[in-house]
A and B are shown apart, each in its own frame.
Chain A
Amino acid sequence: MTLIRRTALKISSWVTWLAAPACREWAEGLEREVAFIESDWGALGWAIGSTRVLLEPREAPLRSLEEVPSVARRFVSSVRSGSRIWGVLIQAPVYLLRFFQMKGGFQHFGCLLIVFGGAFGAANILLERRRLKEPRKDDVYDDLGPCTLFYRAELERQLQKLWIVPFGWLCFFVGFYFAGIPSGTVLDPFLSGLVVLGCASVMTGYLHMRRINLRRIDRLDALLAQKG
């Protein structure tokens, strides 16, 4: 066996090992095909292409509507916790205190922006927690039909509100940038790079979450179609 083919097999088995449980079957399928590719370079190209499976969403898709209540419970609990924006909330009081110590106008603006982002995120979490009280009076999880409707409606709703978390984080990064500018000095390239990187990762995260939510809705619709 040539070195190239050995490398291809190594990459494929590495992909299978790293793949999310929901994608493992596919990664294994890709790995098995390597043995049937005649050309070594072809096998290597195939193996390198198989790494794309690692970018697939980590979540196992719904297999049946019976799984909806448990999935809906998890989803609602993650919405209630608002964990993805806690980082901004923690920073807000720190920058509120720093606001009074800062001297430059940019710095004040930066601090205020972070505080605004934090307050906005906190208000959103409070509203969501109030809306999704637990336990719910009419326990929606007991009945499959209403639970499915509830879950789908929540997915749609969260898709509309998905911008809130990245907005809070963008406020933080832009605020962080301005808060770091001492008055009368040139902009720090390291700080600028850090902020650009932060904003880019926020936008990537937003698009990723949007894709996952759209997939959840698609999958639910497909299961409903089967039932119909």
Chain B
Amino acid sequence: MRNFRLTIYVYIGRFADMKMRRSPQTLLVLAEFLESERDWRYGYDISRNTGLKSGTLYPILMRLAEHSLLLTSWETTAEGRPPRHMYKLTQDGLRYARAQVSADAERAPGLRGLVGVEG
């Protein structure tokens, strides 16, 4: 019985990503990651490309990482330069991003190109 209940919770957990708040800002960030899915991205570059301020961007990144949708890493740089924090979507994150961006593509025509939705 307990195993059965645990299985139920595992399935609840599978849909946990649906609880992530899907704000327009989150969609912008996800769309930005989809621009180059395999590359590690820097916070400032994402901020510049999306127009989001650091105070808006980082809570979103933190939330994505909390849901295991985002990987973080420290870049090893040349001597004298401080290492930078880099971000990349996980496989789950990529799936989530594609689903969210495509779901919103109808409402936000600017995002259509990223997921190949025809206007």
In the bound complex, what is the Cα–Cα distance between A137 and B85 (angstroms)?
48
Contact present for B62 and A223 (CB under 8 Å): no
- Contact indicator per residue, chain A 25-65, by CB within 8 Å of chain B (1) or not (0): 11011101101110000000111111111001000010000
Q: In the complex, what residues of A have CB within 8 A of residue B62's CB? A: 23, 26, 53, 56
Within 8 A of A (CB), among B33-59: 42-44, 47, 53-56, 58-59
Which of A80-88, A145-153, A176-184, A192-200 contacts its partner? A145-153
In the bound complex, what is the Cα–Cα distance between A228 and B38 (angstroms)?
25
Chain B interface size range = 35 or more
Contact of B16 among A145, A148, A224 (CB under 8 A): A224
> Is A221 interfacial (CB-CB < 8 Å)?
yes
Chain A interface size range = 35 or more
Contact present for B84 and A228 (CB under 8 Å): no
In the assembled complex, the CB of A14 is this many whole angstroms from the nearest CB of chain B, namely 15
> Is B78 interfacial (CB-CB < 8 Å)?
no
> Is B100 interfacial (CB-CB < 8 Å)?
no
A30, A148, A219, A224 — which one has the most chain B CB atoms within 10 A of its CB?
A: A224
Q: In the complex, what residues of A have CB within 8 A of residue B47's CB? A: 46
Q: In the complex, what residues of B have CB within 8 A of residue A49's CB? A: 53-56, 58
> Is B25 interfacial (CB-CB < 8 Å)?
no
> Is A74 interfacial (CB-CB < 8 Å)?
no
**Nearest chain B residue, comparing its CB with the CB of A43:** B44
Q: In the complex, what residues of A have CB within 8 A of residue B10's CB? A: 224-225, 227-228
Contact present for A222 and B66 (CB under 8 Å): yes
**Nearest chain A residue, comparing its CB with the CB of B67:** A222
Contact present for B11 and A52 (CB under 8 Å): no
**Nearest chain B residue, comparing its CB with the CB of A35:** B82
Q: In the complex, what residues of A have CB within 8 A of residue B12's CB? A: 221, 224
Within 8 A of B (CB), among A192-223: 215, 218-223
In the assembled complex, the CB of B26 is this many whole angstroms from the nearest CB of chain A, namely 14
Contact of A149 among B6, B14, B17 (CB under 8 A): B6
> Is B2 interfacial (CB-CB < 8 Å)?
yes
Contact present for B68 and A36 (CB under 8 Å): no
**Nearest chain A residue, comparing its CB with the CB of B18:** A221
Q: Would you give 28 A-B contacts (Cβ < 8 Å), ordered by A?
A: A26-B58, A29-B58, A29-B84, A30-B43, A30-B54, A30-B58, A32-B83, A33-B54, A35-B81, A36-B44, A45-B53, A52-B56, A53-B58, A56-B59, A145-B2, A146-B2, A148-B6, A149-B5, A149-B6, A218-B19, A218-B20, A218-B67, A221-B12, A223-B68, A224-B12, A225-B10, A225-B17, A225-B68
Sorted from nearest, which 4 A-B pairs have the closest CB atoms? A29-B85, A224-B13, A49-B54, A49-B55
B contact set with A: CB distance below 8 Å = 2-3, 5-6, 9-17, 19-20, 42-44, 47, 53-56, 58-59, 61-62, 66-68, 72, 81-85
